[in-house]
């Protein structure tokens, strides 16, 4: 039987990291096993659903590269073995009604006021979760497990019922979802048994905690997937980072492309312990991905950020961008990392400037400029040799001149390799900045 997984978000807020991780794990499992990944929108709570939230799910998943085989706008209905024509729960009421009739025929429903309750089978129910292991709920203890409402007095069905019906109808083989649903699962098994069907396999993935140990909430920084693109993250880095929330490769390796993740992913390697969300780690992962991509791709991705800061895309943009590729963690850091290479009016770091001006080796800068002025060729090596010979002539070490030279050229204490700076600025601008410092 071919693997079929699903992501079943409720469109009530934005797509958050926890939801994206659920989507990713289901997607990875389906892709790894050559199965299908289904997107189902659990939009039965009309009062809380919004069009923006629905759009945020689509946008977030597309940005992350998580395509679905069946779901809204995919025409998946044609490939689906189910009779349904919709992947929106709000449009599947006739299907739920039919299943409700089945439970009625099986004598498992009874009226309680205007609501309808499902009669639990009074026996222990044990589930074998692929991550959490065996979990048993003893339904003989009626006071702890009262029969559950499946249809409310207003005629609407509860989450447990529609969720189970859809998993059966859509022939889902593996339900991978957050641990907050673990204790719901025995209820789902009760319903499935009463409907005379076989349950899917379940894998409940660990909670995500903030670095301080508190449960991550929708308001925490980094919670909204939609914020990541404008904060300068690469989608493949975010996917990689999200994969590491509760899963590890069981090796020292942590940096993976989506294709590598498909190859490595397994449910067995999901941790039981809660995952720690650390945005600094995400920035580090981002830096690793920036280092891995081609300079062309990096230049393209960085361009909108550079333009947003009103910096011109100069003729030597490719060389400028290459100089900082291994230096930045986020695309948003690119403008401030390259501005001094592009304009003469970039903001300076006052502290670094003051420190360099107070450095006795700054006295050699005019001499260095004079020496460089005599050079007929210009390259990183030639410029560095010039520093070495001026240092030597003054009884200093070349390294001692590097700091004032860097600050004179860039206005800051850190930045790209000085050799790159010499080449990109060219001889004339290098001399001018050394002289005017
Ligand atoms: N709509 C439910 C949620 O977002 C789906 C739970 C499930 O995956 O079964 O929590």
Specify if 174 maps to a domain: no
Q: Tell me the CA–centroid distance for residue 292 and ligand 1, in Å.
A: 35
Q: Are residues 86 and 30 in the same domain?
A: yes
Specify if 251 maps to a domain: yes
Q: Are residues 47 and 79 in the same domain?
A: yes
Test site for ligand 1: of 17, 57, 88, 178, most ligand atoms within 8 A of the Cβ? 178
Q: Are residues 10 and 38 in the same domain?
A: yes
Specify if 173 maps to a domain: no
| Closest CA relative to residue 22, chosen from 236, 275, 205, 173 | 205
Specify if 197 maps to a domain: no
**CB of 177 shorter than 6 A to ligand 1:** yes
Q: Are residues 423 and 379 in the same domain?
A: yes
What pLDDT was estimated at residue 29?
98
Q: Tell me the CA–centroid distance for residue 136 and ligand 1, in Å.
A: 21
Q: What is the number of structural domains in the chain?
A: 3
Q: What is the mean pLDDT of residues 246-256?
A: 95
What pLDDT was estimated at residue 75?
53
* All residues at 6 or more sequence positions from 259 whose CB lies less than 8 Å from its CB, including other chains: none
Residue 118, H or E segment: strand 115-118
| Model confidence band, residue 80 (pLDDT cutoffs 50, 70, 90) | very low
Tens of pLDDT, residue by residue over 154-204, are 999 999 999 999 999 999 999 999 999 999 999 999 999 999 999 999 999
The CATH code of the domain that includes 279 is 3.40.50.620
Q: Are residues 216 and 72 in the same domain?
A: yes
Q: Which residue's alpha carbon is at the smallest distance from atom 4 of ligand 1? A: 9
What pLDDT was estimated at residue 74?
65
Specify if 132 maps to a domain: no
Q: What are the two backbone dihedrals, phi and then psi, of residue 135, each rounded to the nearest 5 degrees?
A: -130, 125
Last residue of a domain, one of 324, 342, 360: 342
The CATH code of the domain that includes 407 is 1.10.10.350
- Chain mean pLDDT for the chain: 95
Q: Are residues 2 and 87 in the same domain?
A: yes
Q: Are residues 390 and 413 in the same domain?
A: yes
Q: What are the two backbone dihedrals, phi and then psi, of residue 143, each rounded to the nearest 5 degrees?
A: -70, -30
Specify if 21 maps to a domain: yes
What pLDDT was estimated at residue 153?
96
Specify if 68 maps to a domain: yes
What is the Cα–Cα distance from 418 to 381, expressed in whole angstroms? 10
Q: Which residue's alpha carbon is at the smallest distance from atom 6 of ligand 1? A: 8
Q: Are residues 226 and 83 in the same domain?
A: yes
Test site for ligand 1: of 26, 177, 179, 180, most ligand atoms within 8 A of the Cβ? 177
Q: Are residues 336 and 355 in the same domain?
A: no
**CB of 8 shorter than 6 A to ligand 1:** yes
Q: Which domain holds residue 336?
A: 293-342
């Amino acid at each position: 039987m071919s693997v079929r997984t699903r992501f079943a978000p409720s469109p009530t807020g934005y797509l958050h990291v926890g939801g994206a991780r659920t989507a990713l794990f289901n997607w990875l499992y389906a892709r790894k096993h050559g199965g299908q990944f289904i997107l189902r929108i659990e939009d039965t709570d009309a009062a809380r659903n919004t069009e923006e939230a629905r759009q945020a799910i689509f946008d977030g998943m597309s940005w992350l590269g998580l395509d679905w085989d069946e779901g809204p706008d995919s025409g998946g209905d044609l490939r689906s073995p189910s009779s349904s024509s919709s992947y929106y729960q709000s449009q599947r009421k006739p299907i739920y009604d039919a299943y409700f009739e089945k439970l009625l025929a099986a004598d498992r429903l009874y009226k309680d006021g205007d609501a309808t309750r499902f009669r639990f089978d009074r026996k222990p129910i044990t589930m074998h979760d692929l991550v959490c292991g065996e979990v048993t709920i003893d339904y003989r203890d009626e006071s702890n497990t009262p029969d559950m409402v499946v249809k409310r007095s207003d005629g609407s069905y509860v989450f447990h019922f529609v969720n189970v019906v859809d998993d059966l109808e859509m022939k889902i083989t593996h339900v991978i979802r957050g641990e907050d649903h673990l204790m719901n699962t025995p209820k789902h098994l009760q319903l499935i048994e009463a409907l005379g069907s076989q349950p899917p396999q379940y894998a409940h993935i660990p909670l995500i905690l903030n670095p301080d140990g508190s449960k991550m909430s929708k308001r925490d920084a980094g919670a909204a997937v939609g914020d990541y693109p404008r904060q300068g993250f690469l989608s493949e880095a975010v996917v990689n980072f999200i994969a590491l929330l509760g899963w590890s490769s069981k090796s020292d390796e942590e940096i993976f492309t989506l294709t590598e993740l498909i190859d490595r992913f397994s449910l067995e390697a999901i941790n039981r312990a809660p995952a720690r969300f650390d945005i600094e780690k995400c920035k580090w992962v981002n830096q690793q991905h920036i280092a891995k991509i081609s300079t062309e791709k990096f230049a393209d991705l960085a361009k909108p950020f550079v333009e947003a800061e009103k910096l011109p895309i100069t003729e030597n943009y490719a060389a400028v961008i290459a100089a900082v590729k291994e230096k930045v963690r986020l695309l948003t850091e690119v403008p401030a990392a390259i501005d001094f290479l592009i304009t003469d009016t970039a903001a300076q770091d006052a502290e670094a400037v003051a420190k360099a001006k107070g450095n006795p080796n700054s006295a050699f800068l005019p001499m260095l400029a004079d020496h460089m002025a005599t050079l007929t060729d210009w390259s990183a090596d030639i410029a560095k040799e010039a520093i070495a010979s001026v240092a030597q002539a003054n009884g200093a070490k070349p390294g001692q001149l590097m700091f004032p030279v860097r600050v004179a050229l860039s206005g800051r204490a850190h930045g790209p390799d000085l050799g790159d700076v010499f080449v990109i600025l060219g001889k004339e601008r290098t001399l001018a900045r050394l002289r005017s410092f």
